[in-house]
A = this chain, B = another copy of it.
Amino acid sequence: MPQTSAPRKTLGRPPRISREEVVTTARRIVDAEGVHRLTMRRLATEIGSTPMALYHHVRNKEELLVLLLDDYAARTLHRPELPAQPRERVIAAAATIHEALAACPWIVEVLTADDLMATSALWFVEQIVDGLIECGLPSERAVHGYRAIWYYTAGEIVVRATAGRRRTDDTRPTYREQVFTDLDPTELPRLAQVADHWSSLTAEDTYVDGLRALVDGLLAPR
């Protein structure tokens, strides 16, 4: 008995699993036990298949993670009320994306995508580009501005997340930390001056401040 009552039209062996099923199951594993528990084998047995079968629905694990990111975005990235003033709209849109991504630690391994091209995130990109244009930028500079915002945003998340991961992995001080403790005040006076507060200063969340500065700078007359 065929899968459906209607006669099949597609050629070849009928699939027993779908890309959607793969992504959904992967999501369940990640949500329940964290991304480090998501292995291709685990996913395969969970889905009642074999590891290599997955590779017919997903190019590789990295693509699977990208799909998970899009899935996550589609579920959690709801369009908020944005300010009418275009500059504030740019900032609010970027901050919303940032907030959603920052709340989702496993994203880091994917964030290095060249853009946030999930369909559900495109609306935010639109808002940012549109806001920049309404503020007077020509469209090419608006696109460049969006990219700068994206670099800044992705960089912030990736840097913070991996720094945190390195810290929890091991308690021994990195030699980098050591480097910072014995500074030569005559050679590097400013750093020596702030050395004591460095770690607390870098622990602060200043994403929005930096974002605001960047947008201000992008919009300032040349």
**Contact between B159 and A112, CB atoms less than 8 A apart:** yes
Residues of A154-199 at the interface with B, using a CB-CB cut-off of 8 Å, are 154-156, 158-163, 166, 170, 172, 176-177, 179-180, 183, 187-191, 193-194, 197-198
Which residues of B have CB within 8 Å of A204?
144
Closest partner residue, chain B, to A63 (CB atom): B174
* A214 interface contact, C-beta 8 A: yes
Q: What's the number of copies of this chain in the assembled complex?
A: 2
Mark the stretch among A7-15, A99-107, A118-126 that contacts chain B. A118-126
**Contact between A151 and B159, CB atoms less than 8 A apart:** yes
Residues of A115-162 at the interface with B, using a CB-CB cut-off of 8 Å, are 115, 117-119, 122-123, 125-126, 129-130, 133, 139-140, 142-145, 147-148, 150-156, 158-162
Which residues of B have CB within 8 Å of A144?
201, 204, 206, 209-210
**Contact between B163 and A202, CB atoms less than 8 A apart:** no
Between A117, A159, A202, the greatest number of chain B beta carbons within 10 A of the residue's beta carbon is seen for: A159
Which residues of B have CB within 8 Å of A198?
143
Residues of A contacting B: mostly? helix
* A215 interface contact, C-beta 8 A: yes
The 3 tightest CB contacts between A and B, nearest first, are A155-B155, A114-B163, A217-B217
